Amino acid sequence: MATKCKFCNSTSFGSGCSTSPHKRHEHSGMDEKHCVFCNLTSYGRGCANGLSNVHRHGSGTNKCVYCGLTAMGSGCPNSPHKNHER
């Protein structure tokens, strides 16, 4: 089953979402293995569609959505806020 943008219900990834505050498609229902902005399995910098060029994975497990570690609190090198987020 294909996931859809949480703002416009499209199955597209990337720019072009007219109802998103950041004009990018952001998918809901993504698993922790895939980026919500580009559908890749990468972590860290390099997401052409992501905010601040950073991959952000779906939540639902006890892993940080920015780096994939189970750590909590500060110290995430990929998070824009430098905190691990779930």
In the predicted structure, residue 1 carries a pLDDT above the cut 60: no
Q: How far apart are CA 33 and CA 10, in angstroms?
A: 20
For the segment 33-60, the average pLDDT, to the nearest whole number, is: 92
Q: Which residues contact 58 (CB under 8 A, 6 or more apart)?
A: 27, 28, 29, 30, 31, 32, 33, 34, 36, 65
Q: Pick the residue with more confidence: 39 or 29?
A: 39
For the segment 64-75, the average pLDDT, to the nearest whole number, is: 94
DSSP state of 16: -
